Structures are given as C-alpha cells and as structure tokens.
C-alpha cells in the first residue's frame, strides 16, 4: 500500500516538473521572440527613416497620403446638421405673426427692394426690438439700412463698409469681437445691432438727427453727405406714414406673403 502511494507521488512530481519546465520554455521563447521582433521593428524604422532622408520626394508623398487619410477621417466624424437646426439659424420669420405696423413696413420694403418677406420681416422685427432698447426710431434704423445697402447683407462699399448698415470692421473691431470678429459684419442681425449702436452713439453726441446722419455717412464712406441725409430722411418719412396708416390700408392688413 505504501509502495503504491510513493509511486503515485513520484508520478505527480514528474508531471509537475514537466508542466513547470514547459511553462518556463514557453515564457523564454516568448521573451526571445518579442526581443527579436522589437529588434526587427527597429531596423525597419531605421531603414524607412534613411529612405525618407535619401528621397525627399517620397517623404512628401507619404506626408500627403497621411494628411489625406486624416482629413477623410475628420470628414467622416462631422455631424450633418438637421434641416430643423438649419431653419432655426436662418434670418427669417413668419410674417403673419408680425404686428400690423411691422407687417406694413415689411411688405413695402420687400416689394421696393425685391427681398423676400420672410427675411425682411426678421430685419424689421429686429429693428423694432433694437429701437426700443436704444430709444432710436426703428424706421430710422431701417431707412439707414435701405440707403446703405438696399438690404443686401453681403454689400461691400468702396471705403471698406460691409453688410446691411455698411459698418467698417476695422473701426468696429472691439464691438464685433463678442459676435465672432470681422466676418460677423456679414451676419445680418449682428450688422444691424452694431450699426444701430454706432447710430445711437452719434445721436447722443449730436444736436440733430441730420448731424448724426452726417457722422454716420462719414463712418460708412458716403461721398455726398447732404444727398445721403436727404435720402435717409425721405425713406424714414415713408416708413413713418406706413406705420401710422396714412397709406393704402390694405397693405397693413394682409396676412399672406406676396410674390416678388
């Protein structure tokens, strides 16, 4: 009985020795393979580096290929905006929701300057909101806009004026910073707000509206101050008559958009 126990113990010891030996051999083999693989990888890197140094054209081609791959990867990760998000960012409004005085002005300006009612309505609504905050007649803001750019948000003047109210980005750089910098001058609502702020400052410094408009004409690069002032005031008077209901009543009561 004792002999059988010794035999079993001896077999177990030999089996354990064989297993530990096998594991040790596998581990040493893995370390050896890893060492040789790293050495081979190092040689490949050295060879590729030397090749690039010897052939600059090949290096440039490889760089272009890598940049192209990265650009494609970046493009793949870009989110495509939803239609609803794009619509919410557009400068337009449902004209049927406008008050009657704003609606009258919207349609009149829309037909005169050949701008769709929806974006024109957004500008008219914003002019009313800005005018209320700054104590400037909204009709004066719109009149300046009409004479400066004819409601073209991408207008560019010969003296450096840009956008709806022909603001000069260099002179208004600090004011434009919170809105995103110089190119924000082409954003319709930003341009309207910055231009209105300039007009407000000139009105506060001037004794008359004519004097303030003369200063605005100089800031926007208008060559003929007197003609500019007359045109702005004439435009404003027409808009004032519309808001007071002194023109055709049907304009103020229509609720649907007009084809251009």
**In this structure, CATH architecture of domain 92-253:** Orthogonal Bundle (1.10)
pLDDT per residue of the chain (260 residues) written in tens, 0 to 9: 545 554 656 665 666 666 666 566 656 665 566 565 555 555 555 455 555 455 655 555 555 554 554 444 443 433 333 433 434 445 788 888 899 999 999 999 999 999 999 999 999 999 999 999 999 999 999 999 999 999 999 988 877 788 899 988 777 877 787 777 777 788 899 899 999 999 999 999 999 999 999 999 998 888 778 899 999 999 999 999 999 874 444 443 444 444 33
DSSP letter for each residue of the chain: -HHHHHHHHHHHHHHHHHHHHHHHHHHHHHHHHHHHHHHHHHHHHHHHHHHHHH-HHHHHHHHHHHHHHHHHHHHHHPPPPPHHHHHHHSS---GGGS-HHHHHHHHHHHHHHT--HHHHHHHHHHHHHHHHHHT--HHHHHHHHHHHHTT-TT-B-TTS-BTTTTB-TTTTHHHHGGGTSGGGGGSHHHHHHHHHHHHHHHHHH-SSHHHHHHHHHHHHT-S-HHHHHHHHHHHHHHHHHHHTT-S-HHHHH--SPPP-
């Amino acid at each position: 009985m004792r002999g059988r126990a010794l035999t079993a113990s001896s077999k177990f010891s030999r089996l354990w020795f064989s297993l530990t030996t096998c594991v040790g051999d596998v581990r040493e083999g893995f370390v050896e393979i890893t060492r040789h693989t790293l050495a081979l990888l190092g040689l490949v890197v050295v060879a590729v580096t030397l090749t690039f140094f010897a052939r600059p054209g090949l290096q440039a081609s490889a760089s272009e290929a890598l940049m192209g791959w990265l650009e494609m990867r970046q493009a793949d990760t870009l989110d495509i905006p939803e239609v609803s998000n794009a619509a919410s960012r557009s400068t337009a409004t449902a004209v049927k929701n406008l008050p009657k005085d704003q609606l009258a002005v919207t349609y009149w300006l829309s037909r005169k300057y050949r701008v769709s009612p929806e974006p024109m309505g957004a500008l008219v609504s914003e002019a009313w909101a800005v005018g209320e905050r700054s104590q400037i007649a909204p009709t004066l803001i719109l009149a300046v806009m009409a004479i400066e750019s004819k409601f073209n948000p991408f207008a560019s003047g010969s003296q450096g004026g840009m956008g709806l109210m022909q603001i000069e980005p260099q002179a208004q750089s600090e004011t434009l910073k919170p809105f995103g910098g110089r190119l924000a001058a082409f954003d319709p609502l930003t341009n309207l707000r910055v231009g209105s702020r300039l007009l407000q400052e000139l009105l506060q410094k001037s004794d008359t509206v004519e004097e303030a408009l003369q200063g605005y004409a100089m800031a926007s690069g208008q060559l003929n101050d007197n003609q500019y002032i007359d045109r702005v005031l004439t435009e404003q008077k027409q808009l004032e008559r519309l808001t007071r209901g002194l023109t055709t009543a049907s304009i103020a009561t229509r609720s649907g958009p007009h084809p251009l």
